[in-house]
Amino acid sequence: MKPTDAALATTLCGLRLRNPVIAASGTFAYGVEFEKLVDLNSLGGLVVKGLSREPIEGNPAPRVYETEAGMINSIGLQNIGARAFVREKLPALAKLDTAVFANIFGCATEDYVEVARILEDHEGLAGYELNVSCPNTRHGGIYFSSDPSLLGEVVSAVRQVARRPLIVKLSPNVSAIEPLARAAEASGADALSLVNTFIALALDPRTRQSRIGAGFGGLSGPAIKPIALRLVYEAARAVKIPVVGLGGIATGADAAEFLVAGATAVEVGTATFWDPSAAVRIATELGEFLQQEKIANVGHIVGTLVLKKDPV
Ligand SMILES: Cc1cc2nc3c(=O)[nH]c(=O)nc-3n(C[C@H](O)[C@H](O)[C@H](O)COP(=O)(O)O)c2cc1C
């Protein structure tokens, strides 16, 4: 089966996707860099690197460390800034026949709004993904993603300027995901995506130093998949808007698990580092899974998980 087969077609926030597999932010550069390695028009969509108001140089090296079943990164959200993105990357992205999402972040609500404003003036984007796993420097560094009222404030503010679909990307570093999922929905999100990385530490006991230049980093890859699945299930039950699931997806069967847990679409991040065309391969494998299971359309498995006992 091809990643363009009709059985894989789906809709997310009114956008028609050829398949439900999207390349995740921060692991697929600005998309265009992968043109020679991947047929970008076979992707369900792609999310570009996080964009800020001004360019950011990022964190000191080492920025990544491979763990038993994943990796820890602290890139420090290095990026060229929203204006340079519009000038240098968007013209080529606009020619693609795939849904391109801009990932937006900032240190204060105004930063998010300003990035959205810059992007709104230009064609070529299907929608936005808000990375809210950032400390709000105006509120003593509390993460937008950990406080329902701060989260609601930033989502409502961006909603007012964004005419394109707005996906809010939640952090897994919270004790309960439901209040945050509901706050994003109530403030105007068209969809949620989860999860971002888990705050983590890797250290060398001999040097007594962190293996990451910035100290802590974010854990991603297969190690996080079971926790991400549980969070996607909980978030999808808490809201009516669609959920995009991610965290450790490396095969078509992994993608199917997230759909069954309640996700309408999935994103693929870390797997791209060992297989640049992972997202297209995973869409192909998901199609084969549907064929084997005699499922006519991918939408038929979304949210079909039945738990024998309702979790508390
Ligand atoms: C090197 C790297 C950079 C990332 N940069 C971003 C980013 O800029 N914005 C964002 O929302 N998520 C970013 N993420 C998080 C991923 O998009 C994804 O949520 C996370 O890695 C879990 O998915 P995975 O296990 O498939 O990688 C980054 C992840 C990695 C590994």
Structural domain count of the chain: 1
Q: How far apart are alpha carbons 197 and 220 in whole angstroms?
A: 5
Q: Is residue 71 part of a domain?
A: no
Tell me, what's the pLDDT at 115? Answer: 98
Q: Is residue 169 part of a domain?
A: yes
pTM confidence score: 0.98
| 197: its two tokens | 């990385």
CB-CB neighbours of 222 under 10 Å? 18
Q: Is residue 54 part of a domain?
A: yes
Tell me, what's the pLDDT at 137? Answer: 78
CATH number of residue 269's parent domain: 3.20.20.70
Q: Is residue 205 part of a domain?
A: no
The ranges of the chain with pLDDT < 50 are none
Where does ligand 1 bind, in terms of residues with CB under 6 Å?
24-27, 49-50, 73, 75, 77, 103, 131, 169, 196-197, 220-221, 224, 246-249, 268-270
Q: Probe ligand 1: pick from 22, 25, 59, 173, max atoms within 8 Å of CB?
A: 25
**134 an active-site residue?**
yes
Q: Is residue 190 part of a domain?
A: yes
Q: Is residue 81 part of a domain?
A: yes
Q: What is the pLDDT of residues 40-55, one digit of tens each?
A: 999 999 999 999 999 9
Q: Is residue 46 part of a domain?
A: yes
Query: Could you identify the atom of ligand 1 that is nearest to the CA of residue 248?
Result: 25
The SS3 assignment for 262 reads coil
Q: Is residue 290 part of a domain?
A: yes
Which residue range forms the structural domain that includes residue 99?
A: 6-58+76-197+221-301
Distances (CA, A) of 8 to 43, 111, 188, 279, 280: 11, 36, 28, 13, 12
Q: Do 40 and 100 touch, CB atoms closer than 8 A?
A: no
Distance 54 CA to ligand 1 centre (A): 20
